[in-house]
Amino acid sequence: MVKRADFLRMNSTRYKHHAAGFVLLARPRGFESDLPLPSPLPRIGYTASRKVGGAVERNRAKRRLRALVAEVMAGRAAAHWDFVLIAREVTVTRRWSDLRDDLERGIVKLCSAVNSQDGQPRQVRTRLETENDE
C-alpha cells in the first residue's frame, strides 16, 4: 500500500491487534462495492511516526517490519485484506523472536475474523466484550 487514502481508511477499522512491538491493523478490501476485486493478494503497508525516533530509527523499524512480514505472513494472511503495521519505539530494539511471536498472534487473531465459508468479515469479540455481556 502506498496511497495515503488507503492508510487513512485503515484507521477506521475495527480489526486491530496491539502488540508490544507494533500495532497491526486489518481491513477487508472490496466488500463495500460491486466492483470486481483487483487482486486476491493481501496488501501490506508500514508506517513509523516521529515518536519512533529520527529518520534512521524509523527506517530501521520499517525494514524490520518488512523482514518480519516476509518471514511470517507468507501464506497466512487472508486474501482480499489490507494490513498495516505501525511501528513503536521498541520495534527497533525488541528481540526478533518476540516480534515474530507478536505478529503470529496478531495474524491468528485478525484472520479468525474471516468466515471461512464465504470470505466475508464477521465481528471479532474480544475478551473484554465477552466479560461485559455476562
pLDDT at 7: 73
pLDDT at 100: 94
Which domains are delineated in the chain? 4-31+39-133 (3.30.230.10)
pTM score: 0.74
pLDDT at 107: 86
Write out the three cell numbers for 26.
486489518
pLDDT at 109: 82
Return per-residue pLDDT of the chain as tens, 134 residues. 667 777 777 777 778 889 999 999 888 876 555 555 567 778 888 999 999 999 999 999 999 999 999 998 877 776 778 889 999 999 999 999 999 999 998 888 877 765 443 445 444 444 434 444 44
- Cα distance between residue 27 and residue 111, in whole Å: 10
